[in-house]
Structure 1
Amino acid sequence: MTRTEELLFDRYGSPLLPLDAVAEILGRSTNGLRVSLSSNNEMACKLRSAKVKLGRRIYFRMSEIARLIDEA
């Protein structure tokens, strides 16, 4: 587990992050993140690969979000 993953896990306490948590991490509004996910660019593709849908709710794998942060 990387340092970024540890920090995210300590703050959010789950290996799956809800949409509003990812929006907060990336400094966007929840609706802004939804619009970004619907676009066709590199960041949206990376975020979509981290997406997990449980019922009607959308979550993101914490490890993938940490990797995106570390790459930036």
Structure 2
Amino acid sequence: MTTEEYLLNRFGPLMSIPDIAILLGRSPDGVRVSLYSDTDISRKLKPAMIRIGRRVYFRTMQINDALNLNIEVSPLGNLQ
């Protein structure tokens, strides 16, 4: 299973800020602060960000590309 498949199965086509926080090992508030400051991670995540009403989501496939997460993952979620 590729990382793309794993992320899509786990989070779906759109990821919320708490989902990004889980993926990065940060708190949701830490991710929010990072997004609204000029940092390397914010420059990678902002192109994937979309707003639906007042909510902020991220396109899962663009997150995979932005963070260069192209690795093989076993069906149990372990890295290979």
- TM-score normalized with structure 2 length: 0.78
1:11 match: 10
Could you list the runs of 5+ residues in structure 2 that have no partner in the other structure? 71-80
SS in structure 2 of the partner of residue 53 of structure 1: strand
Instruction: Give the Cα–Cα distance (whole angstroms) in 2 for the partners of residues 10 and 69 of structure 1.
Output: 18
1:65 match: 63
Instruction: Give the Cα–Cα distance (whole angstroms) in 1 for the partners of residues 46 and 40 of structure 2.
Output: 10
Which amino acid in 2 is paired with 1:38?
Y
Could you list the runs of 5+ residues in structure 1 that have no partner in the other structure? none
1:19-34 paired onto structure 2 within 5 Å: 19-34=17-32
Instruction: Give the Cα–Cα distance (whole angstroms) in 2 for the partners of residues 18 and 43 of structure 1.
Output: 16
What is the aligned residue count?
Answer: 69
2:48 match: 50
Identical positions, percent: 42
Question: Deviation digits for residues 1-51 of structure 1, max 9, x if unmatched?
Answer: x81110011112x21111110111011100000000011122211111110
Q: CA deviation at 1:70?
A: 2.1
Q: CA deviation at 1:69?
A: 3.8
- TM-score normalized with structure 1 length: 0.86
